[in-house]
Structure 1
Amino acid sequence: MSNIEHANFPRAGFIRRLGAIVYDLLLAVAVYMVAGAIGFGLFTALTSSGLIGMQDYEHVSDLLNGTPVYKGVYQLWITLCVAAFYVAFWSRGGQTLGMRAWRLKIQHPNGQSLSVVTASARLVWSLLGIGNLWILINGDKLALQDMMTRSEVVVLSKEANQMRNWRGV
């Protein structure tokens, strides 16, 4: 989806991005906790039904943490849920809730929204947020993930931010 009106907004600086990151980190922790609870519930159901044996463990949590395969699948599940949080918001309107609070939007320079593939690549290139430090080194207000995905984070006007709903319309 392209929004040509958003093509001319200024790029966001480091401090504004940091504010949105802190806000979104709280949301990501909540997603992590919910995904962990769902994953643990499913694992408990599988052990209760006998599909997964308890081996020599007394508690389900000991089995989950003491078996590398189960622990790896569990951690992968949680990681994918948190990643899906960011990718879904970035590809459906360009704003997470924290970005909306700080009036930020991720887009291509022409105002076009990111695809799921581009949003996923952006997540990888962000290096867990460390890629934003690149803004402090250069003067064009582009982070590592911006340069690698040919995208930018812009500061929307109050009016433009209020007109957007969660789907980016």
Structure 2
Amino acid sequence: MSNIEQRTGFMRRFASWVYDALATVAIIMLAQILFLGFVELLLSIGLISKSDDVDISYFVTTQPWNFINQFYLVCVACFFYVYFWCKGGQTIGMRAWRLKVRNLDGTQITKPQALIRAITALLGLGNLLVLVDFKNKRSLQDYLAKTEVITLSKEENKKVYRELD
């Protein structure tokens, strides 16, 4: 079977994206709690101040805290994807749907490639390119990072699990 025949179509990518979106939302919620706790700590030790009539949630939506908060949450989401793509080529959703991201020659992707993929995926919209790229089945992020997403057999997927131990 050639690489192109192993490449993953849109529906499997979409199903994996849904799983990963749920995991990412949970991670971002936890990260947001940690951020609010950090701001509360800064307030309590007097490094920053706010007026008494403003609650913490409103306070972090004002500049410059809003920018810092949003940047932090984007970094957390990117770290999630970069970590899993570099660790074994699979996120949580990709494992469930037996998908793997790799270089065109079959090797593990690098951190810069994973970061390019995470940033250029455009919240998953980059996968829409697969709908019109019938021949190559590659997304926008695949082209920009010089990667591909393949569908693994059940045996190959189990092998990836064993390699991570």
Tell me if TM exceeds 0.5: yes
Residue aligned with 2:149, SS: strand
Q: Are 2:67 and 1:72 aligned?
A: yes
Deviation at 1:83, TM superposition (A): 0.9
Find the partner of 2:156 among 153, 160, 164: 160
Structure 1, unaligned stretches of length 5 or more?
1-6
Q: Which residue identity is paired with 2:31?
A: A
Q: Are 2:8 and 1:20 aligned?
A: no
Q: Are 2:2 and 1:34 aligned?
A: no
For 1:86 and 1:64, the matched residues in 2 are separated by 26
Residue aligned with 1:152, SS: strand
For 1:69 and 1:166, the matched residues in 2 are separated by 45
Partner of 1:151: 147
Aligned residues: 162
More off after superposition, 123-132 vs 17-26: 123-132
Structure 1 residues 26-73: Cα deviation after superposition (integer angstroms, max 9, x where no partner): 0000011011000000001111111111146432223222x2101111
Deviation at 1:129, TM superposition (A): 0.9
Alignment of 1:43-62 (within 5 A): 43-55=39-51, 57-62=53-58
Structure 2, unaligned stretches of length 5 or more?
none
Q: Indicate the RMSD between aligned Cα atoms, in angstroms.
A: 1.8
Find the partner of 2:112 among 111, 117, 124: 117
More off after superposition, 15-24 vs 53-62: 53-62
Deviation at 1:8, TM superposition (A): 8.4
- What stretches of structure 1 move > 3 A for 4+ residues in a row? 55-58, 166-169
Find the partner of 1:95 among 90, 98, 103: 90
For 2:156 and 2:162, the matched residues in 1 are separated by 13
For 2:24 and 2:130, the matched residues in 1 are separated by 23
For 1:43 and 1:78, the matched residues in 2 are separated by 14
Does the 8 Å CA contact 2:78/2:119 hold for their aligned counterparts? Answer: no
Residue identity (%): 38
Q: TM-score, normalised on structure 1?
A: 0.89
